[in-house]
Amino acid sequence: MEFGSAAFILALIQIIWVNILLSGDNAVVIALAARSLPAHQQKKAIVIGSAAAIVMRIVLTLVAAQLLQLPWLKLIGAVLLLYIGISLLLPEGEEDEGKLAKDGLMAAIRTILIADLVMSLDNVIAVAAAAMGNTVLLVLGLAISIPLVIFGSTLLLKVIERFPLIVWLGAALLGFIAGELFVNDPALHTEALEASMGLTHHAAEIGAGILGAVIVLVVGKIMMSRRRSSDQPA
């Protein structure tokens, strides 16, 4: 496939389009991670986090086929997403605010990268298929997607400021994705259990996703109540 040819341009458009469609949940994480930062650091966290996440996604895509066959990888990723979803719900106390002023930017970027790494495990297959083995096409398509992801995250951050309920919806989304990852781990061999329960794999994914979302919301609510109780003067 020659650079600049009609086939090249068409494949490039496909990569950009696929990446935009698959980056909706990533934009949620970026906005949630940046929301607790001071205003002057929010844009920096979004730009650096988005760019670094795209670079990491390029590397992931190059090794996607081998990576997705590793047992326990998705299971570990599911646990990480549950943890991130719960932690994003917790309010910042006075000590936390002091810490945010010191190293909150790096903490937000770290959260963005970990979440993007986990959530991109399945997405990279679609991007790799669109690239058809052309590394130049892959890198170019994902690089062009960076400003689009940044725009989506920035817009969502403004919406979160007006409607705090979106934070809970975003955390629930992370829990849902965690549940889907869990049942798709090759080490678990869920086929027999699904057959015994009369479930299709898609139904099992949805059920596990709902369970994951409920776990995040319930545990997050309990931990939030405990933290608020401990912050109140005796």
Q: What is the CA radius of gyration of the chain?
A: 19
Nearest-angstrom CA–CA distance, 51 and 150: 8
pTM: 0.71
DSSP-based helix, strand, coil % in the chain, nearest 5? 85, 0, 15
Structure confidence by residue, pLDDT tens digits, 159-212 = 887 888 888 988 898 899 889 888 888 887 777 778 888 888 889 889 999 999
Helix (H) or strand (E) holding 17: helix 6-22
Cβ neighbours around 225 below 10 Å, total:
10
DSSP state of 204: H
- Residue 187's φ and ψ, nearest 5 degrees, are -75, -20
Nearest-angstrom CA–CA distance, 175 and 204: 15
Which pLDDT score is estimated for 219?
Answer: 96
Which pLDDT score is estimated for 26?
Answer: 73
Report the pLDDT averaged over residues 134-158.
Answer: 76
Nearest-angstrom CA–CA distance, 75 and 81: 10
Nearest-angstrom CA–CA distance, 1 and 9: 10
Structure confidence by residue, pLDDT tens digits, 88-134 = 887 654 444 445 444 678 888 888 888 877 777 656 666 666 676 67
Nearest-angstrom CA–CA distance, 6 and 79: 43
Nearest-angstrom CA–CA distance, 64 and 57: 10
* Residues 6 or more apart in contact with residue 168 via CB below 8 angstroms: 89, 217
